[in-house]
Amino acid sequence: MNNNYKHPGMKNEGVQPYVGTLEAEQELHAYELENSRPAVEAFPSTPNHNLNHLSPDFLEFSDTQETQIQRELYASQECPVSSTYTKLCDLRDKLNSQQNTLKSRLKQVGEQLKQVNQQLSKFS
């Protein structure tokens, strides 16, 4: 019988005692870390997704702002380029309209301020 033969379960016998345990612990740590939060690739790729069907891990670790960003990203992926261009044009028109409204209000406030200054100068 060969005394140098080691049983497979004894392969680390005589080696540093904690090497196998440390490696196993590191592998377990890496596995737990990798699987504790889903990767970006795990997001649904269907155009009509529902955020309620995401994994509980994602819902647990996400905040409302991140969820909002994801909704906007998915919404932008759903619509074709022409639709996106139309939306951008509509937003530009809204901003221009609001800018004109604010400019006219600013002029009105400026005129009211002049009137108030004139009235104050009368009292002085």
Give the tokens for residue 122: 């009368």
Does the global pTM surpass 0.75?
no
69-93 average pLDDT score: 76
pLDDT digits over 13-39, tens only?
Answer: 655 555 567 777 777 777 777 666 655
- On whether residue 113 sits in a domain, the answer given is yes
pLDDT of residue 108: 93
Distances from the Cα of 54 to the Cα of 43, 57, 64, 74, angstroms: 7, 8, 14, 13
Q: Same domain, yes or no, for 14 and 74?
A: yes
pLDDT digits (tens, 9 = 90+) for 93-120: 999 999 999 999 999 999 999 999 999 9
pLDDT for residue 31 = 72
**52 and 104 housed in the same domain:** no
The reported pLDDT for the residue numbered 106 is 92
Q: Maximum CA pair distance of the chain?
A: 121
Does a structural domain hold residue 15?
A: yes
For residue 25, what pLDDT is reported?
A: 77
The predicted pLDDT at position 85 comes to 83
pLDDT of residue 5: 59
DSSP string, the chain: --TT---GGGTTTTS-TTHHHHHHHHHHHHHHHHHHS--GGGS--SSS--GGGS-HHHHHH--HHHHHHHHHHHHHHHS-HHHHHHHHHHHHHHHHHHHHHHHHHHHHHHHHHHHHHHHHHHH-
Host domain of residue 101? 88-124
The total of structural domains in the chain comes to 2
Q: Answer yes or no: are the C-beta atoms of 74 and 54 closer than 8 Å.
A: no
